[in-house]
A and B are shown apart, each in its own frame.
Chain A
Amino acid sequence: MAKLTFKTDKCKGCGLCVDACPKGVLALAQDKINQKGHHPVEAVNEAACIGCAFCATMCPDCIIKVER
């Protein structure tokens, strides 16, 4: 059981976190646009999150907080 928190407004939608996640937890929200004009990341399958923080490790904008 892990918890992900995103600073959605700072997300630039680069998707590096999506690719880094080994469990397919993340996706870019194609139906949302943040203040910066990007499709921000969101957890689409948080239940599968193992709290490995690979997503946060690859995030260039330090927007992901991981708790486990």
Chain B
Amino acid sequence: MAVVFDKPHALADVPLHYCPGCTHGIVHRLVAEVIDELGIEGRTIGVAPVGCSVMAYDYFNCDMIEAAHGRAPAVATGVKRSDPENIVFTYQGDGDLASIGMAETVHSAARNENITIIFINNAIYGMTGGQMAPTSLPGQVTQTSPYGRDTSLCGFPIKVCEMLSQLDGPEYLERVAVNNVKNVKNAKKAIKKAFENQVNGKGFSLVEVISSCPTNWGMTPKKALEWIDEKMIPYYPLGVYKDRSAEK
């Protein structure tokens, strides 16, 4: 009998603290699978964010650094510039990457910093209990938009891939989702490409992963995955937003 599926080595064998049905765990596993497949665990350094995935530093077997809120791309820049042989990834949520850390995100992209960013967009602040995120949908009810996100008061969601695609810097930008088997397999391909780009010295690669937050969305895990199809993907269309190697 052959093993078809098992825990990747780069993923630590510890219980994850995430809520039942939270897709952070799926994305962690995909990153770990890619690290395994590329054989880069020994030279990979991950940078964890502030937010639900703050404790990602305990979940990967590669070296890990915990960054201040939003600063992961700057920390990753330092790690990469310290030794270009390092493979450096950040794992950031929407509040971290698209709100408090937007400057670091945009400028690391503009520099085409040779790092890999895994960006979890679940349209909410999870760790603090479900507040409005920069990516919360118009009308979305959260703890700090209790009457639904009113765009006349607090503006519109930020479409990170579309925005960054206007820059000349970045090498690769793709938006994927992890709400069904097919999408998870596509997400894996995108994450693998984002790491391969770095290994091959190509530059800034960001994969935006549309994820679920059943707890703070107030849904069952199953319903949350359906909500991604119904509400999230129509607002945040999946696909490749920039791929310079394909342009050449």
Interface residues of A (CB under 8 A from B): 2-3, 10, 12-16, 19-20, 36, 38, 51, 53-54, 56-62, 64-68
Contact = CB atoms under 8 A, between A and B. Distances in A.
B222 A60 contact: no
A66 B5 contact: yes
B16 A60 contact: yes
Contacts of A64: 5
B185 A60 contact: no
Nearest to B225: A16
Interface string B212-228: 00100000111001000
A9 to B, nearest CB: 8
> Nearest 6 pairs between A and B by C-beta?
A60-B25, A14-B21, A12-B20, A66-B5, A53-B5, A14-B20
Nearest to A68: B4
A16 B15 contact: no
Contacts of B185: 57
Given A10-B15, A15-B21, A58 B4 contact: no
Contact of A65 (B3, B22, B220, B221): B3
Interface residues of B, number: 29
A51 B1 CA distance: 11
B25 A62 contact: yes
Interface string B1-41: 11111110001000110111111111001000000000000
A2 B221 contact: no
B106 to A, nearest CB: 30
Contacts of B18: 60-61
A20 B19 CA distance: 19
25 contacts: A10-B15, A14-B20, A14-B21, A14-B214, A15-B222, A20-B181, A51-B4, A53-B4, A57-B5, A57-B181, A57-B184, A57-B185, A58-B26, A60-B21, A60-B22, A60-B23, A62-B7, A64-B5, A65-B3, A65-B7, A66-B3, A66-B4, A66-B5, A67-B4, A68-B4
A15 B221 CA distance: 8
Contacts of A19: 222
B168 to A, nearest CB: 36
Nearest to A67: B1
Nearest to B1: A67
A16 B181 contact: no
A56 to B, nearest CB: 4
